[in-house]
Structure 1
């Protein structure tokens, strides 16, 4: 009741300067302030006082029932608490949840059904908690690894295609015009344009510029989980894009050959080694012009 009394006195501008300062410094003040603003318009219509007086005089006089002012305060404070709880519930359940991994970072999190997700650098996932068990659907930009708990259909929607599973482990990567899906356990259904493919344990598929080709699966989980950037038939621009994401740097390429395809691995935790490998393969010279910028020139 002490908090209710404080709220009631605040609503009626009855706090001392010190009490008001302490209340404004509390973590919940901003929430109560918003609720006060939102509910300020909830006023009854104007009353015809003359008509009301005439009506009262024509009726039998009855002793008025006096409601103590503190009860009005308590009622209004209780209403604010109920409204606050409603807003909090809505924010936690109906507002989409967003998980992000910035450049040079990775993010792991658990979905409401205990499914596990690991986001690779420069990636984002959006989903809704409300009724999750019956609608396990999320949107992915970038790359993520999933360990899905058994249950209803689980869908990953990207701008390039969709992956649907029941319970499995798989990796989805959607970067620019390239879409990669690898199944490490169970079965996944991949939809890309007008093509639908079922992948089982140890299978993968890649779509790029509308063309389909298979990629080998040589491990039980994505290489980037263990700080290895894996490439399969990717050009140097795609390769450098991924290096920039993993190390949160900027790379400028001054080379004529940008079409040669690379299959192999680069370390995601040792930039100098990664630069040496790229320089050797493409006959380039890497120059570090600042802390976060690299320039590749032809030798």
Structure 2
């Protein structure tokens, strides 16, 4: 410890004569002397603290850009929104559109060219919006009334036949083995099996079991639109089928007379009156066994 103290004082030329003599007598003095002589010519520049700080700051790495978590969520939500819009447009224009009228209901809607359609109870229409103005084609199950806007050919396809028009008003019914078309305005071309018929204002045609019946009509539109069910020489089973659709009920018939034909009208919004007319015409008795079930028995 004493030797280290003497070394420090010797390097600073701060030894007294006695201390200097003692230090020079030490065994390590010669080594210390050589080191002192070797380093005496070395010089150290003054430290420029400001320059050093500037250099450190200039070499500082750029702070990485951090995207907050909520912004990542917003980007993801925007992408999902754009995708949803795309899917919606595809569904809207490319996927077939369906309009239905359940039993006991009627549905009115417009097609892309503003043609108007009224669907009768228990009916369905399918069509595509894509390229509609150049391909006005739809498929019908059941019965519908059309007010067609003028334009290219307009086609109504059913499982029994096809109706083609340019711009007119007409009614189409395709149920079971029965195909009816009525023209209320303009001209209508009807294709059934290998038969083609042209109807004009006030004409109608019926195909049933391969038989054709052409008739004239006096009304300006289908009676069912005004909640009147019109029949011309219809059998009772056809009559009851229509009542079931209009009122969303089930009817059981226990009668031997299923041949007599009915011509007339039934109300589509007054079930009791409709049942009374049928009972009187066919000498039957109507019983409501539940809210949605009716049984006709012979008197």
What TM-score do you get using the length of structure 2 for normalisation?
0.75
Whole-angstrom CA distance in 1 between matches of 2:80 and 2:205: 54
2:215 partner SS? coil
Deviations 1:117-166 (A, max 9, x none): 00111111111111111111111111000000001111111111110101
Q: Secondary structure at the match of 2:181?
A: strand
Write out aligned runs for 1:80-99 (5 A).
80-99=80-99
CA 1:177–1:73: 2 relative to 1, 3 Å: same
CA offset at residue 234 of structure 1? 1.6
Secondary structure, aligned partner of 1:277: helix
Q: Give the length in aligned residue pairs.
A: 237
Hey, what does 2:231 align to over in structure 1? 231
Name the counterpart of 1:50: none
How far does residue 68 in structure 1 lie from its aligned partner after superposition? 4.3
Q: Does 1:126 align with 2:126?
A: yes
Match of 1:214, SS state, is strand
Q: Structure 1 64/176 Cα, relative in aligned 2: closer, same or farther at 3 Å?
A: farther
Distance 1:152 1:84 in 2: 33
* Structure 2 CA distance for aligned equivalents of residues 202 and 149 of structure 1: 19
Match in the other structure for 1:273? 273
Structure 1 gaps, min length 5: 1-62
Give runs of aligned pairs for residues 67-82 of structure 1, distance below 5 A: 68-70=66-68, 75-82=75-82
Deviation at 1:216, TM superposition (A): 3.2
In structure 2, C-alpha distance between the alignment counterparts of 1:288 and 1:75, rounded to whole Å: 62
Tell me, in whole angstroms, the C-alpha distance in 2 between the residues paired with 1:131 and 1:214.
35
RMSD of the TM alignment (CA)?
Answer: 1.8
**Counterpart-to-counterpart distance in 2, 1:233 and 1:145:** 21
- String of CA shifts for 1:210-261, please: whole Å, max 9, x gaps: 1100233120000101111011222111100000111111110000111222
**For the residues of structure 2 that align with 1:156 and 1:218, how far apart are their CA atoms?**
23
Find the aligned partners of 1:264 and 1:284 in 2 and give their Cα distance: 17
- Give the direction of change, closer, same or farther, for the CA distance of 1:226–1:77 in structure 2 (3 Å limit): closer
Match in the other structure for 1:297 = 297
Question: Aligned-pair distance for 1:175?
Answer: 0.8
For the residue of structure 2 that corresponds to 1:69, the secondary structure is coil
Larger Rg belongs to? 2
Seen in structure 2, the aligned counterparts of structure 1 residues 80 and 253 have a Cα distance that, compared at 3 Å, is: same
- Give the CA deviation at 1:193: 0.5
Aligned to 1:219: 219
- Equivalent positions of 1:93-112 (< 5 A) are 93-112=93-112
Deviations, residues 14-37 of structure 1 (Å, cap 9, x unaligned): xxxxxxxxxxxxxxxxxxxxxxxx
- Would the aligned equivalents of 1:215 and 1:232 in 2 still touch at CA under 8 Å? no
Judging changes above 3 Å, is the alpha-carbon distance between structure 1 residues 99 and 64 closer, same or farther for their aligned structure 2 residues? Answer: farther
**What residue in structure 1 maps to residue 253 of structure 2?**
253
User: Take 1:203 and 1:157, find their aligned partners in 2: how far apart are those partners?
Assistant: 20
Provide the C-alpha distance between the structure 1 equivalents of 2:63 and 2:258, rounded to a whole number of angstroms: 87
